[in-house]
Structure 1
Amino acid sequence: MKRATFAAILLGGAAFLPSTAWSQTAPAEGSQSLDPAASTPAVPAAGTPTTTPPAAVTPASPQGDSGLADIIVTAQRTASTAQRTAVALDVIAPEAVQQITEPQSLTKLAPGVQFGNAGGASPVFYVRGVGTITSLPFIDSAVAINFDEVYLGRATSAFGLYYDLDRIEVLKGPQGTLYGRNATGGAINIVPAQPRLGLNEVSGTISVGNYEAANAQAAVNVAVSDKIALRASGIAYTHAGYQTDGTYSERGAGGRLQALFKPSEAVSIRLAGDYFHLGGTLSTGVVLGSTDPQTGAVVPSNLGPDVGQFDPRTVSFLNSAFSTTAGAAIGALTQRPYSNSNFYGVSAHVDADLGGANLAIVGAYRGADLDYVSSIGSFSSGDQEKDDQYSIEARLNGKVGPFDWLVGGLYFNEKVNADVQVNQIVLGVNQRQDFRNISYAGFGSLKWNLTDTLRITGAGRYTQDIKKFDGSAYTATAICTSPTRLCPNIRRLPSDVSNLPAVLNSLGYVQFAPNTPFVDVTGTSNVIWSASNLPVTGRQAPSKFTYRGAIEFEPRPESLLYASVETGYRSGGFSFSSIAPQYGPETITAYTIGAKNRFFGNKLQLNLEGFIWKYKNQQVTHIGFSAARNVEYVTENIGQSTNKGFEVDMTARPLRNTTLHADVQYLDARNDDFVFTETDPSALAGLPAGTIPSVTNCPRTVVPNTGLYQINCSGLRAQRSPTWTLNLGAEQAFDLSSDYRLILAGNTHFQTSSIVNFERRAFGIQDSYWLSDASLTLAAADDSWSIGAFVNNIEDTRVKGITSYLASTGTYQANYAPPRTYGMRLGFRIN
């Protein structure tokens, strides 16, 4: 269908419809306020399932039947109702994240958003096919994560935030003007509950469940005076391992303290600090199969998604899986995963009404001390990392005549020091990284209210980045030199590979001159270790102007039509690769038309959106081979894609105690141009070209006399972009008496198959699946207490977070989302 025709159908029909995403509803008598400090979340229903949309977990108002009410959001940096915010927006209520402790579980809450895990504390964020794998410290996420108005420079810092929240806002599409760089896919705003003046209250939840799970959360709000309020909140949780070997366990504990001082009606000052400790083994991988060295066929492991890497069945498989490069069985991992990581931060928020304008200033420091080892199928990865970031943002907005205006500026300074070790048993990597990033930005927007129902908006942002990188990557690869290509006497790497030269020496392999292989001085094997040290030092200073233009029209008081064009960019960076030691920025331009509507006295809400995104110079992270016969983890700019589709979202409250929700998204995300070169991995073992399969399973062409393949993935579907996504939810409340209510809630998430690895090889497809939750809750009519039962992932579907193929070992592995969980939950509130 042509773009103009599609737009005419959508806009023409929407003029007679009404407005909100499933998550943009509140109780009919909810006390939503433009003052963020005036809001506090209700105590969650004890059995609320983690995936229930807010529309399905919000109790019907006992006083009346006025339908759906609005939620106040700050997605456009000023307070507005979600239904009058002309962007693609989902709002997730705090009740929906009661049991969420890792970002991967957010996938089922926001249609069109795909979250995964690359192992350990490395989350993966994709929105409508736009994102990247942030498995190394220096890789920027394509989806901006903001906590309490502060941008998080590293995706690993997205842990430990999901308690005592006011809401989570998910903005789909580039947010280059108001959220800046690294928001090509969108932005996620995690908004904590704030201190409330005049309120003395204690609230919380306690839950227990299978896998020895326990989760306790509490918040205390104290009105010190009519001008000062304090809020303290905390969380402590644990669950045993989801895998058969006891891995994929998690323990977390943290707290948040805030102080609000409001010396006058015009000035508000809020200070906040938080700390979180993350322990356990975190997400671990499963070995899916290996490549037969004789035939090149895939040999499945036939191990279920719950079989851990230290299970005897996995150990047996890895002890028989053959590495063509090493000429021997790969061998099993010996170091168990762990996490001993800490995240913390402080911030100051100043809001002032200057009479003709409103001023907001946010200054913050955030830090992280990462110490973890993650096990990912046939290899492990460790990271000892120190992150520090400082930022200050100032915004001024007001109204002059028919114009609403906003101007602002941002200073961001980030330092990352990391030591990363990768152990593939027959291959090891040490990386030392010293990364610095300073970013300056100025932005503004102007909305011209042409009439009471028609307005146009223009916005722009100029960003200047200064990035400095200094690091080195030491790689050692086992290579069999026997004429038979068999080296059974190989001595494999031990658990600790933090100093590879010393480790190889301890195994009896010696390097007699720089840049030469380590040889076996014991004479008991025909193995050499090819070793190299790749230094990467550089500086980048990219700058970019991004913009947004939009038109809004209200054909009726309950309807909003809008059309917009917006651009975004993600700054370039560095990677430990001789193939591409530096890569450039990626850009995106998004064309959107939409309608937000309400009908029947706010009983029905229907939102529609169509979008076309043009994505260029995509930053793609993948494994490759260098001309020096080394395995490299490279990020490079590869091609462009067109992501287009539509979303239809409906929420209805036909009766006072009944809420229904449905959201469906269609997405066609396809590579227009995706061509790159790849070294023939056969060269690693000195074998004839094509002996070892190409890393990437796309059509390939041999480049004569170069040892290179040209790989062409053009025309194929983009990663993490299911064609159809469906969310359904319902809640029914029963008034047992004037004192008690019984609440039955359920929801389900469905999506069609999608690609979940770059290589497009075996096991790289996540098949279509359903994921459903349900709960039954008995609650006091005044919400002072509740008790209930819940079950999440009724189908016990283990969704693939990410899969990978290692050509160096010929193995396939995957990380999976949690299995079915169930339990009981108690909620309370004391005023």
Structure 2
Amino acid sequence: MHRIVRPATAVVALMLAPGAIGITTTASAQTTAPAPQAGGGAQGQAAQLDEIVITAERREQSLQTAPVAVSALGGATLKEAGVADVSDLTRSVPSVVIAPAAGGVPQVYVRGVGTFASNAYAEQSVAVNLDGIYISRPAGANGFFYDLQRVEVLKGPQGTLYGRNASGGALNVLPETPKLGEQSATATLDIGNYDLRKGDAAVNVPLGDKAALRASGMVIDRKGYLTDGYNDDQGQAGRLQLLLEPTEDWRVRLSGDYYHRGGKGSGQVQYPYVDTDNPWIGPSDARAVAAYYAGLPAASAHSPLIQNAKKDGFIDDQFWGTHAEISHDFSFATLTIIPAYREVKEDYLSYIPSAFRVNSESQQRSVEARLASRDSGPLTWLAGAYYFSEDVDAKQDYNHWVQETVMNSKLTDETVAAFGQLTYALTDALRLTAGGRVTHEEKSQDSQFGTATFSPTKPALSSRADDRIWNAATWKVGVDYDLAPQSLLYANVGTGFKAGGFYASAGADTFNPEHLTAYSLGLKNRFWDNRVQLNLEAFDYEYRDQQISYLAPTLTGVSSFPYAPSFVTQNVGRSRIRGFEIEGRWKATSSDLLTATVQYTDTRYTSFTYNYFSNFGAPPSVGCPYTNASGTASPTPVAPSAIYSVNCSGKPATNAPRWTANIGYEHEFAFADGSGLTAAADVYLSASYYTAYDYLAEQVQGGYHMTNLRLTYNAANDRWSVTGYVNNVENQAVVNTSYQPNQAFGNGLNFANIRPPRTYGVRATVRY
């Protein structure tokens, strides 16, 4: 920790220089703009930054007074930046990397902590919450980026207030809610390249003085980015909310939402690319097929079972949920109860380039109850209880043409937790915080598992049942101090864990929870009359028993071929993550806004070993030392197959570039009639990073920069606006994640998920 404390201390001294600190402002809404001043700039607005109110710590507070590391993006900012789904957050928040996997499942990484979601039972290391409801299935993080109030990104373990599966942080997506006494509507149409047609709308209707209804929806239809039509986007979504406030101290909000995703779904490209001039060659494109065969060993390439990706991939997923938020104000505290139910149905065929067929269904139920004190007196506190249960029924067929693996499993999960956090003000400027959570979790899984090699028929299945119980205690302690009216210094130590679970195997099939302890030191500042904001945080993470998912040797239960490569999740070693983040905003004039965020992350595995299976005994294609471990395996693999032990200790984490930054500039041209023209540009910069645990040179995404431009005309009465935009001006091909699907050959053939190329279009919005 001392390595990061000294630089941070120097920054504190700089911030305390005479004249550096400004005047405190009070936020009373989610986003509060300063009052206009005489002689102001564009449309009379003062040259001051807005305040943003967040609920990251389960109560409303200003972003600048919250002693935690959190980034917040308002709904208007998200729409202006064209953030249409969770994966777009990568270019808006430098600490976040979101990488879609097979079936379009988003994989969320924050400061190098995340999960490669390889199967239907995978759970994220970063909790995704929609309107306060934890989304258990990674695929369920799609389809709700419309009519939003804001998005909050909490960095570091959130074991106290968010619990399990938040070891890397939390992503809170908060929709707009009904407003009493307001009749309003908004609609947006987006037309762009790749035949993009996207529309979203929302309407708010008052139902007397004590109730309101809000309905919103979204439809999107876009052709695929890849040459064979994969990586398209087809979906329909809707949300309906009813707000009731029968008395001053009771508030009830009912909500239901639905999302359907269709089209061809996701596809992967060979990496390095088949054609460097056209990286977006899809897996079933004739050029990709020819390159695939060229990379196979001569003997196997002539087998009639060797095939490549086809054009019949599809996705037909459905997600829906309903919940209530019931709150009652007592004289001393506010009670909030949130019961919820959600379903996720996945049905897709994806080529990677092997065929990955998934049909799964999940039902989750949860209830959270919180009692939060009023913000009066030196002590503020929050106490709560949480219950969660889930049933997952999944059928998965992974066929890479030499070997086919079938996994049918039923998973049940039940979790109960109690948590609390309190803050005590020792003086008007100094506060201490402590919190904790205890969790009890029971999981069971009934599986059918089978594999077949060079067989034209489906593999025979064997059954296995297992159950486990885990108990965990997570905690947080912190201190924060007002150096000046708008300068907050804070330090925290917190822990988090991700639940253990199962994978399909005829043998050992269990992995344990992972744990992360984080030390952080931060400084939040507003100065120069609220025109400049500068926030800094240094962090040091200790990560142990990290769960990784990869193709590993799995027991088949068949003596003639005892092992097969299939996706499993296992605990591996330890790692350290250290770094710092700087966020700056400068309202230079009433018409000019400059923003910059820079993050440095140094990740290193202190201990990291895993096993690699080769069907034909070929040495593994990896960038780490390895030894033949066939002789120590039980049972011994049947020749010519072999098991290798790979040691990647000393390597960095995947999807964790050492340097990332986002720099933006916005200027408003104000016209005499009250209308305005806003020009904005931002550029995202990233250092190189590994995209897979094989650590091959071919799996490195090189450093890059990506620029986005937009020009918006706002009518004088703010009734309508039109935006022209270009994203990824450079047409950069950027890899999210990659892996070797054909370990059977040990040929190093690598495939990757790739981000969108250059996109452009026109977006029109009307408001009432």
TM-score (norm 2): 0.92
Query: Is 1:88 aligned to 2:69, yes or no?
Result: yes
Query: Is 1:699 aligned to 2:625, yes or no?
Result: yes
Q: 2:367 aligns with which of 392, 398, 402?
A: 392
SS at match of 1:590: strand
Alpha-carbon deviations, 1:422-443, whole Å to 9, x = none? 1212221211010111110100
Gaps in structure 1 of 5+ consecutive residues: 21-27, 42-58, 290-298, 479-491, 494-499, 502-530
How far is the alpha carbon of 1:174 from its aligned partner? Answer: 0.3
Query: Is 1:572 aligned to 2:573, yes or no?
Result: no
Query: Is 1:813 aligned to 2:748, yes or no?
Result: no
Gaps in structure 2 of 5+ consecutive residues: 34-39, 556-561, 633-641
CA contact (8 A) 2:237 2:257 kept: yes
How does 1:90-489 map onto structure 2 within 5 Å? 90-98=71-79, 99-288=82-271, 304-323=278-297, 326=300, 328=302, 330-334=306-310, 336-376=312-352, 378-399=353-374, 401-478=377-454
Q: 1:455/1:139 Cα in 2 relative to 1: closer, same or farther (>3 Å)?
A: same
Q: Which residue of 2 aligns with 1:828?
A: 766
How far is the alpha carbon of 1:340 from its aligned partner? Answer: 1.1
Q: 2:567 aligns with which of 633, 655, 658?
A: 633
Alpha-carbon deviations, 1:495-531, whole Å to 9, x = none? xxxxx53xxxxxxxxxxxxxxxxxxxxxxxxxxxxx5
Q: 1:578/1:4 Cα in 2 relative to 1: closer, same or farther (>3 Å)?
A: farther
Q: Which residue of 1 aligns with 2:638?
A: none
Q: Which residue of 2 aligns with 1:50?
A: none
SS at match of 1:569: strand
Alpha-carbon deviations, 1:143-193, whole Å to 9, x = none? 000000000011100111100000000001000000001001100000000
How far is the alpha carbon of 1:300 from its aligned partner? Answer: 6.5
CA contact (8 A) 1:40 1:193 kept: no
Q: 1:790 aligns with which of 725, 750, 760?
A: 725
Alpha-carbon deviations, 1:82-126, whole Å to 9, x = none? 111111111122234434444222211111111101122321111
Could you tell me how far apart the structure 1 residues matched to 2:652 and 2:229 are?
Answer: 36
Q: Which residue of 2 aligns with 1:73?
A: 54
Alpha-carbon deviations, 1:249-278, whole Å to 9, x = none? 111111100000111222111000011110
Amino acid at match of 1:395: R
Q: 1:624/1:60 Cα in 2 relative to 1: closer, same or farther (>3 Å)?
A: farther
CA contact (8 A) 1:18 1:559 kept: no
Q: 1:207/1:626 Cα in 2 relative to 1: closer, same or farther (>3 Å)?
A: closer
CA contact (8 A) 2:655 2:736 kept: no
Q: 2:664 aligns with which of 729, 738, 741?
A: 729
CA contact (8 A) 1:14 1:561 kept: no
Q: 1:348/1:808 Cα in 2 relative to 1: closer, same or farther (>3 Å)?
A: same
Q: 2:468 aligns with which of 536, 540, 546?
A: 540
Q: 2:45 aligns with which of 35, 39, 64?
A: 64
Q: 1:114/1:157 Cα in 2 relative to 1: closer, same or farther (>3 Å)?
A: same
Q: Which residue of 2 aligns with 1:294?
A: none
CA contact (8 A) 1:301 1:317 kept: no
CA contact (8 A) 1:227 1:261 kept: yes
Q: Which residue of 1 aligns with 2:684?
A: 749
Q: 1:304/1:380 Cα in 2 relative to 1: closer, same or farther (>3 Å)?
A: farther
Could you tell me how far apart the structure 1 residues matched to 2:299 and 2:342 are?
Answer: 44
CA contact (8 A) 1:469 1:574 kept: yes
How far is the alpha carbon of 1:678 from its aligned partner? Answer: 3.7
How far is the alpha carbon of 1:12 from its aligned partner? Answer: 3.8
Could you tell me how far apart the structure 2 residues matched to 1:103 and 1:154 are?
Answer: 14
Query: Is 1:646 aligned to 2:549, yes or no?
Result: no
Q: 1:430/1:703 Cα in 2 relative to 1: closer, same or farther (>3 Å)?
A: closer
Q: 1:759/1:19 Cα in 2 relative to 1: closer, same or farther (>3 Å)?
A: farther
Amino acid at match of 2:222: H
Q: Which residue of 2 aligns with 1:804?
A: 739
Higher relative contact order (CA 8 A, sep 6+): 1
SS at match of 1:448: strand
CA contact (8 A) 2:319 2:344 kept: yes
Q: 1:367/1:778 Cα in 2 relative to 1: closer, same or farther (>3 Å)?
A: same
The two structures, once aligned, show a CA RMSD in angstroms of 2.4
Amino acid at match of 1:232: A
Question: Between the two proteins, what is the percent identity of the paired residues?
Answer: 35
Could you tell me how far apart the structure 1 residues matched to 2:763 and 2:498 are?
Answer: 42
How far is the alpha carbon of 1:383 from its aligned partner? Answer: 1.1
Query: Is 1:562 aligned to 2:562, yes or no?
Result: no
Q: Which residue of 1 aligns with 2:9?
A: 8
Q: Which residue of 2 aligns with 1:779?
A: 714
Q: In terms of mean alpha carbon deviation, does 350-359 or 709-718 score higher?
A: 709-718
Could you tell me how far apart the structure 2 residues matched to 1:817 and 1:375 are?
Answer: 17
Q: Which residue of 2 aligns with 1:610?
A: 538
How far is the alpha carbon of 1:282 from its aligned partner? Answer: 2.4
Could you tell me how far apart the structure 2 residues matched to 1:19 and 1:266 are?
Answer: 39
Could you tell me how far apart the structure 2 residues matched to 1:431 and 1:61 are?
Answer: 61
Amino acid at match of 1:743: T
Amino acid at match of 2:368: E
Could you tell me how far apart the structure 2 residues matched to 1:61 and 1:356 are?
Answer: 44
Q: Which residue of 2 aligns with 1:517?
A: none
Could you tell me how far apart the structure 2 residues matched to 1:362 and 1:324 are?
Answer: 60
Alpha-carbon deviations, 1:610-633, whole Å to 9, x = none? 000000011011112247231122
SS at match of 2:620: coil
CA contact (8 A) 2:118 2:567 kept: no
Equivalenced residues, count? 736
